Each structure stands twice: as C-alpha cells, then as structure tokens.
A and B are shown apart, each in its own frame.
Chain A
Amino acid sequence: MVDFSKMSTMKGFFAPTRFEADVYDCEVTGKIPSDLNGAFVRLGGDWLYPPKFEDDSPFSMDGYINTFRFKNGVVDYKGRWVKTPRFKADRAARKQLFGKYRNPFTDDPSVAGLDRSVQNTTPLAFAGKLFTLKEDSLPYEIDCNTLETIGPYNFNGKFKSLTFTAHPKIDPATGEMICYGYEAEGLETNDVFLYTISPKGEVTRELRFKMPYVAMVHDIAITEKHVLIPVFGFVSSMERLKEGKVHWGWDDTKPALMCVVPRDGEAKDIRWFKGPSRATVHTLNARDEGGKVILEAAIYDGNPFPFFPPVDGSPWDPAKARAYIRRQTFNMNSKDDGFAEDKLFEMNVSDLGRVDDRYMTQPYRYAFTSYADKARPFEEWKAGNLGGRVNNCYGRFDLSTGKMNSYFAGPTHSLSEVCFVPRKGGAEGDGYILGVANNYAEMRSELIIADAQRLEEGDVARVLLPFRATSQVHGRWVDESELPFA
C-alpha cells in the first residue's frame, strides 16, 4: 500500500502527483506568439513510491518528462514517466526497491545489477532524437510525440563511457556536441571520457583522462578551442557507499579546480588551474580571448546541497550556499596555475542560468536566471508563508553594463529554471523567456511566456495547467525543425 504520510514535507503543493497527463488545447491567458512553433520540454522528477530513506537526496526522484507543444498559436500538454528499468521494477513490486542516491549497497537485493538511473535531469534534442539525461547512466531515447521511453542509447556503440553528462554542449558554429561521462568505467572510478559527436550523431573524437580524485563533474563550458571542466568539493569513495551514505559528501579542503582541455588536444595538453573552494555546478558561457580563456557562471562559495553533507561532520553552512554571477579568467600563456575571479553582480541568484545559445563560445552580453526578490509582494494569506524563500523573478543580466531587467511572476508564485528562445533572425537577447511558475494559491502550474526585451511589462501569455506540474530540474526549447514532431 502506498503511504506518503510519513514524508513530512510531501504535503500541500509538494505532495507527489503520480499521474500521467494529456491536456489537449490548454487554457491560455494572453496570446501565444505565432512564431513559437516547437516544444518546451521539461524534465524533472516525482516520487512514484516514497523513498526508502527520508533523508535521501531529491535527485533520486523518478524521472518525469513533459512537453508544452506549441503549434500555430495553441498549446497541448503531455506528461509521462521515464520508464527506466528502475521505474518498472518499483512499479511491479508496488514499492520502492532502490536506496540512497547513487548507492547500490542500499538497494533491495532483488534489484542488484539493474540500471539504477532515474533519468530526471535534462532533456536533449540532438541528431533528430529526443533524450533524457542523468549523469549516472547513458541517455535514454524518448519518442518525441508519445513521450514513451525507447531505452538507453550509446551512439551506435561508439560512446564507450558508462555514463553521459546531463550537460552536453552544442557548438552553434559546427553543430557538434561536446559531451562526456565521468566515473566512466564504473562506480567510483576517476576516469573521464570526453567526446565530440557530429550533428548526425556519429562519434568523431574520444579523449580519455583521469581526475585527481573521484568528484562530481556536473557541467562544462566550451569555447572555440577549449573545453572547461569544473571540479570542486563533492567527493565520493567506495568506503562511504559501503557505509550506506549518499554518493557525494562535501570536502571543504578541496580547492576549485578547472580542467582546461584543448578541443583538438590530447591528455598531455590538459591544464589544471586551482583556486579557493567554490562550487560551479552550472555554467553560463565561455570564450577564448587572445591567450586567455574566460568563463562566466553563477558560482557558489561552498556546498549548495545539504543532502550531500560535509565529510568531516561539520554543519552545513547556508551562508556559502549562495550563488553569484562571476567571471573566471584562465591565462593559457602563463605557467601559473592560479586564475582571476570577479563578482559581476552582488545579488544572490539561481545558478540555473541561461544565455542565448546562438552565442555559445562567442562574446555575448546577456545572461538570464531566476532570483528571489524579497521586496516584491508575497500574499501569505493566499499562498502560505514562503515569501523570500522562492524565486519569484526572472532577470536579464547585462554583463556589459551591469544592469538588470526583471520579470515578476506574481504574488503567489515561484519560478522554475528560465529558458531563452531566440526570435529567428533576431539579435542577441531578442526573443522570449519561458518558464513554469507554480501558483500556490490555485494549486496549479502556469507556463509563462514573456518578451525577453520587455520583461517589466509582464508576460505576453500564460498556459494554465489544471494541476500541479512535476518539479523541473532543467527545461529546453526544441524548435519544430529539430525533431520529427507529428
């Protein structure tokens, strides 16, 4: 029997939804822009069954993919579980069989050796296929029209890593995908396999190298000539897994490392730069400038995830769990392994930021991300007293002037990750921002669509779901030319 009553925080808006859904011709306020044709694809998670351990990471939630399909000014919604072997095993047993985050030693013995992945992190459209991504396993191919799960995908057997990042990067100039797997040869191995894959989906290059220790490598950045791979304090070991702990712990003694790999180089050409403790979980963009490589990202001073606790037993420090947009500069002409860092904005923001992807690897001006503006109204009597603790605004951050423009979602809302959709033929930043707002007064989710150049004017349209959408980790806009949509 399913019982979530012991899960003290899975109540109200945050109770599991546990259903698949189709909404034909969604209710809309405002007017859907006629030039938006494609799909906003969201990937995140929900609990099919309660976790075996209440202190497990929310990253263990079962994957759930959903699309808002835009066509000729109307929108249809579809949501489906990602039906992994893990999902199917739990469903057949009618209970949670899997234990803590990326720790097979905590599983029910009946599922030993089964793919543990929950596929809940990032959707990807590439080479005419739709995928779900989770960094502990291969991508899963998804039917873009039915959202049914086809299965794991290894690029015609040429992708040899056992894992595939949740954050591959597409070079807009070549259409190539730069991607990688870490713990590439199995649990707790320090191998990284770095790949280049052609726009048709053929592996054209592989580079294998080892990390100084087993650590999380969640995201990368690319320039025309380099790949930047941030490594920071989330560490793991077989010993901690056998002790029944979650995969990652935070080691505050580890420096921030930046692995800079020439895109046409070999392992011997890799440079490792070192700086004070940071957590660069997600990146914005990077570029080559003369002999320098420059990265911008919303970077934390320390551990952002208390469910991956400090390995020394010290208390989690919320003061270090704030992300700020920063610039890091790596001098490739210097033998010094240090790097320069500048804080570009003093305000604390979500690290789930986006840029106009057409400008990836190039000089650019705008970054978009969400943040909590405590000065905005939050109607506690309608929504509950979460004011100031949830992101209620999207910001467009002008990296050249230091100015910021803001979109406010409403006094009973919180916002998921922002997505920028360029207007075809438009200049940088000309387009729309999309993102899902949770409405705590109405117990429903709303997809907001705003003009990225007129954020203060509010949204141009909202797609109203008659229920709560599953939580989102990442979302991507997929133009209708990218996938064989019906």
Chain B
Amino acid sequence: MLTRRDFVTKLAVGGALAAMPPSVWPATLPARAPVVSIHMDQPYIDVTGRAIPYIPPPGLRSAAPIAHLSELEFRTRFVFL
C-alpha cells in the first residue's frame, strides 16, 4: 500500500501522478482547478477543487458495511466469510 509519506516523497521526485490508482480518477471535468487529496492514505485527484468527500466507485469497499461490528456482533452474523 502507498502511504501518505511515500506519496509525498514521490511528489518530490516528480513521480506522483504515476503512483495514483487510476480507478479512483473521477470521470467528470473539474469545476475548479484540480487538487491532490487523500482518502484513507491513498492519493487521488479531487477534480472539483472543493474538497468534496471522496465516494468510492460502485463495488469498491464492499466489506465496509460490517467493519464496525464488535467481535460478538461479527461472529453472531457471520460464520463462513
């Protein structure tokens, strides 16, 4: 995984754009100048320039809805993941 520190280092050597996960590039055109933003330690281009919260593309992070469960709740609902 690319950490925030790693990313800043790569920026310094001019390799930042190559390191960005292409799947998180929004398809829409920017309303303001794009800025580099961070979501969960991963860089992405916020093309709105307005720091609008990042919304993962459909299908990504599909395990997130149960991540908040306690051990008791988790094992109560799920036996065979």
Contact = CB atoms under 8 A, between A and B. Distances in A.
A381 B79 contact: no
Contact of A472 (B62, B78, B80): B80
A386 B71 CA distance: 12
Contacts of A377: 1
B63 A306 contact: no
Interface in B50-81: 56, 58-67, 69, 71-81
B59 A381 contact: no
Nearest to B54: A381
A9 B75 contact: no
A471 B80 CA distance: 7
Contacts of B77: 9, 58
B41 interface: yes
B81 A384 contact: no
Contacts, number: 99
A357 to B, nearest CB: 21
Interface in A1-49: 9, 11-14, 44
Contacts of A443: 58-59, 62
B63 A13 contact: yes
Secondary structure dominating the interface of B: loop
A442 B57 CA distance: 10
Interface string B14-57: 00000000000000000000000001111000000000000010
A471 B65 contact: no
Interface residues of A, number: 42
Contacts of B69: 9
A384 B76 contact: no
Nearest to B40: A381
Interface of A: 9, 11-14, 44, 55, 58-59, 304-307, 315-316, 318, 321, 352, 377, 379-386, 389-391, 411, 414, 416-417, 438, 440-443, 471-473
Given A389-B74, A471-B80, A473-B80, 11 more contacts: A9-B69, A11-B65, A12-B66, A306-B75, A318-B71, A318-B72, A381-B40, A382-B61, A384-B64, A385-B64, A417-B80
Interface of B: 1, 39-42, 56, 58-67, 69, 71-81
20 contacts: A12-B66, A14-B63, A14-B65, A14-B78, A58-B77, A58-B79, A59-B79, A304-B75, A306-B76, A315-B72, A352-B80, A380-B61, A381-B1, A383-B60, A384-B67, A386-B63, A416-B80, A440-B61, A443-B58, A472-B80
Ranked nearest first, the 4 interchain pairs of A and B with the lowest CB-CB distance are: A384-B64, A384-B63, A11-B65, A13-B62
